Chains A and B, each alone.
Chain A
Amino acid sequence: MKGILDIFTIVAVAAGAFFFLAGTVGLLRFPDTFTRLHALTKADNLGLGLVVIGLLPQMDGVMAGLKLILVWLMVLLASATVSQIIARALRRGGPEP
Chain B
Amino acid sequence: MTEALTLALVGLLMALAVWTLVARDTFAAVSGFVPYGLLLTLAWLQLRAVDVAMTEAAIGAGLTGVLLIAAAARLRPTEAPAWAERPGLPTRVLAAIVSAAVAAGIGACVLLLPDPAPTLAPAVAQNIASTGVGNPITAVLMSFRAMDTLLEAVVLLLGLIGVWSLAPDRAWGGRPGPAPTEDPNSILGYLARVLPPIGIVVGVYILWVGADLPGGKFQGATVLAAMWLLVMMAGISDAPAVDRTWVRLALAGGPAVFIAIGLLGAGVAGAFLGYPEGLAKPLIVVVEAALLPSLAVTLALLLTGPPRRKDGDT
Contacting pair A77 B195 (CB below 8 A): yes
Interface 9-residue window, one of A11-19, A29-37, A49-57, A81-89: A81-89
Of all chain B residues, the one with the shortest Cβ separation from A88 is: B187
Q: Assess whether A74 is interfacial by the CB under 8 Å rule.
A: yes
Q: Which applies to chain A's interface (DSSP): helix, strand, loop or mixed?
A: helix
Give the 8 A-B residue pairs with the shortest CB-CB distance, closest first.
A81-B191, A84-B187, A85-B187, A81-B187, A85-B188, A77-B194, A74-B198, A77-B195
Q: Which applies to chain B's interface (DSSP): helix, strand, loop or mixed?
A: helix
Contacts of A70 in B (CB 8 A): 198
Looking at the assembled complex, report how far the CB atom of A75 sits from the nearest CB atom of chain B, in whole angstroms: 12
Interface residues on A, range: under 10
Q: How far is the CA of A88 from the CA of B194 in the complex (A)?
A: 20
A residues neighboring B (CB under 8 Å): 70, 74, 77-78, 81, 84-85, 88
Q: Assess whether B246 is interfacial by the CB under 8 Å rule.
A: no
Contacting pair A81 B198 (CB below 8 A): no
- Interface positions, chain B 171-213, Cβ under 8 Å from A, are 187-188, 190-191, 194-195, 198
Looking at the assembled complex, report how far the CB atom of A43 sits from the nearest CB atom of chain B, in whole angstroms: 14
Contacts of B198 in A (CB 8 A): 70, 74
Q: How far is the CA of A84 from the CA of B186 in the complex (A)?
A: 10
Looking at the assembled complex, report how far the CB atom of B231 sits from the nearest CB atom of chain A, in whole angstroms: 14
Q: Could you pull out 13 A-B pairs where Cβ atoms are within 8 angstroms?
A: A70-B198, A74-B195, A77-B191, A77-B194, A77-B195, A78-B195, A81-B187, A81-B188, A81-B190, A81-B191, A84-B187, A85-B187, A88-B187
